[in-house]
Amino acid sequence: MRSTFLFTLVMISIIGFSQSNYQKGYIIKNNSDTLRGEIKLENEEALLKKIEFKNPDGTVAGFSPGDIKEFGFEDKKRFRVVNYKDALDNFNPTTHFAKLLFEGLYTVYSFRKKQKQYFVVTDKDSSYFLYDDVMTNMGEMIGEGNYRGHLLSFAQGCPAVQADVDHTSFTEKSFVSFFSSIDKCRGVLDHSNSYFVKPKWEVNGLLSAGMMSFSQKSDFYVQGLVQFVFPTVQRRASVNTGFAYLRKTEEKSKVYSLSEVRNKHVMELYEIPFLFRYDILTTRIQPYFFAGTGVVYRKDHDITTMTSQFSSDTRSETEESMFTPTFIVSAGVNIRVVGGFFVDLNWRYDLDFHLPTVGVTVKIK
């Protein structure tokens, strides 16, 4: 009953906290009218196809690339509609939003799709889709990128810049530096603008709760974590810390000819974990694992009850508590329901093996 009550309370809290965050920003319509309001915060990949814009009166509207030509946030990130032929998809025409990095003789955009970085470069007449080398998980190149050839072409007439192509990494910072060098070589750098914003740690909140009961055993947990992701290093990996509460209950009974002895053991963990998390997939179904350490305040409560046919029940209780370090391993699957709301299937080792649990996770950005 106690675990059920706590689980219900946590669910109510999670739903209350799961409202999406918005940040001040603007949109520019196709008729060049500018509207200011707030834009729903999403990762850059989620912003490719559609944004949610909240007007000053509180009404929310969705905008796709056909509805507006630009939007931006107060942190100076700007996104525009790009059109190009995708060299990795049979050169099919493609349209979506992309982040504006640089404007000069060439306009440079970047975007991420399926966790991979791409660039689009435009001039007055053409659009160019640039992609990096294709590598296996073991670091073996199985396909050569096209960006070096394009950079050599863009830098024609600037031998010193062309000589730097092999040293230009496939990153936003390197591309902005490269195209700035082209404009400097051609004497037009004063008329160029850089919109590059140094990448920062992304900070998310993860609120989770789950429970399971099976054959006189039950497990319940609630966990609130602050998640730190550095997208330029690895978007699927993150460092996490926060607070966790776990309650494990196990009941046993032994029947004798004239009596029965029942034992109930309750282990409670109040924990500050320090965890590394890796999301194996970032699709609707997202398998993941955690690993790390933690500091735990552990309480063990044993209740023994003996029932006899010839006397009243006797009951004894013992309780122990201590602070202790712990090693944590957890694996599970998040199944996205809507937005940042997931059904969570989770298994955990934390001072002991716990039952697999079913619950929910809410990701707050």
Q: Which amino acid is at 345?
A: L
Rounded distance, CA 195 to CA 160, Å?
Answer: 24
Mean pLDDT computed over 106-110? 97
**Nearest Cα residue to 211 out of 39, 46, 50, 1:** 1
Q: What is residue 62's predicted lDDT score, i.e. its pLDDT?
A: 94
Residue the block writes with tokens 């599970």:
332
Q: What is residue 74's predicted lDDT score, i.e. its pLDDT?
A: 84
Residue 210 β-bridge partners = 221, 359
Higher pLDDT, 230 or 50: 50
pLDDT band at 139 (very low <50, low <70, confident <90, very high): low
Q: What is residue 233's predicted lDDT score, i.e. its pLDDT?
A: 54
Q: What's the 3-state SS for the chain?
A: CHHHHHHHHHHHHHHHHCCCCEEEEEEEECCCCEEEEEEECCCHHHHCCCEEEECCCCCEEEECCCCEEEEEECCCCEEEEEEEEECCCCCEEEEEEEEEEEECCCEEEEEEECCEEEEEEECCCCEEEECCCEECCCCCEEECCCHHHHHHHHCCCCHHHHCCHHHCCCCHHHHHHHHHHHHHHCCCHHHCEECCCCCCCEEEEEEEEEEEEECCEEEEEEEEEEEEECCCCCCCEEEEEEEEEEEEEEEEEEECCCEEEEEEEEEEEEEEEEEEEEECCCCCEEEEEEEEEEEEEEEEEEEEEEEECCCCCEEEEEEEEEEEEEEEEEEEEEEEEECCEEEEEEEEEECCECCCEEEEEEEEC
Q: Which amino acid is at 6?
A: L
Q: What is residue 231's predicted lDDT score, i.e. its pLDDT?
A: 62
pLDDT band at 140 (very low <50, low <70, confident <90, very high): low
pTM score above 0.85: no
Backbone angles phi, psi at 257, to 5 degrees: -65, -35
Mean pLDDT computed over 95-114? 95
Q: Residue 204 pLDDT more than 80?
A: yes
Q: Residue 21 pLDDT more than 80?
A: no
Q: Are 315 and 260 in contact (CB under 8 A)?
A: no
Rounded distance, CA 51 to CA 101, Å?
Answer: 19
Angle at 76 between CA 75 and CA 79, to 5 degrees: 120
Residue the block writes with tokens 């320090």:
274
Rounded distance, CA 53 to CA 291, Å?
Answer: 38
**Nearest Cα residue to 318 out of 352, 270, 354, 267:** 267
Mean pLDDT computed over 29-55? 91
Task: Say how many CA atoms lie within 13 Å of 308 toward its Cβ.
Answer: 7
Rounded distance, CA 106 to CA 186, Å?
Answer: 12
Q: Residue 298 pLDDT more than 70?
A: yes
What tens digit of pLDDT does each residue of 52-99 get?
Answer: 999 999 899 999 999 999 999 987 789 999 999 999 999 999 999 999
CATH architecture of 200-364: Beta Barrel (2.40)
The length of the chain, given as a count of residues = 365
Q: What is residue 141's predicted lDDT score, i.e. its pLDDT?
A: 65
Question: In angstroms, how far apart are the furthest CA atoms of the chain?
Answer: 104
Mode of pairing for the β-strands spanning 127-130 and 116-122: antiparallel
Q: What is residue 1's predicted lDDT score, i.e. its pLDDT?
A: 47
**Nearest Cα residue to 117 out of 70, 169, 193:** 169
Rounded distance, CA 301 to CA 149, Å?
Answer: 69
Mean pLDDT computed over 18-37? 85
What the block records as the tokens of 91 is 């050169």
Q: What is residue 136's predicted lDDT score, i.e. its pLDDT?
A: 59
Q: What is residue 75's predicted lDDT score, i.e. its pLDDT?
A: 73
Q: Residue 134 pLDDT more than 80?
A: no
Q: What is residue 137's predicted lDDT score, i.e. its pLDDT?
A: 55
Q: What is residue 340's predicted lDDT score, i.e. its pLDDT?
A: 84
Higher pLDDT, 234 or 269: 269
Mean pLDDT, the chain, as a whole number? 88
Mean pLDDT computed over 134-142? 63
What tens digit of pLDDT does each residue of 214-244 get?
Answer: 888 999 999 999 999 876 556 688 999 999 9
CATH 2.40.160 positions along the chain are 200-364
Q: Residue 119 pLDDT more than 70?
A: yes
Share of the chain above pLDDT 70, in %: 90
Mean pLDDT computed over 143-167? 94
pLDDT band at 41 (very low <50, low <70, confident <90, very high): confident
Q: What is residue 199's predicted lDDT score, i.e. its pLDDT?
A: 72
Mean pLDDT computed over 317-330? 95
Q: What is residue 255's predicted lDDT score, i.e. its pLDDT?
A: 82
Phi-psi region of 78 (alpha: psi -120 to 50; beta: other; left: phi over 0): beta
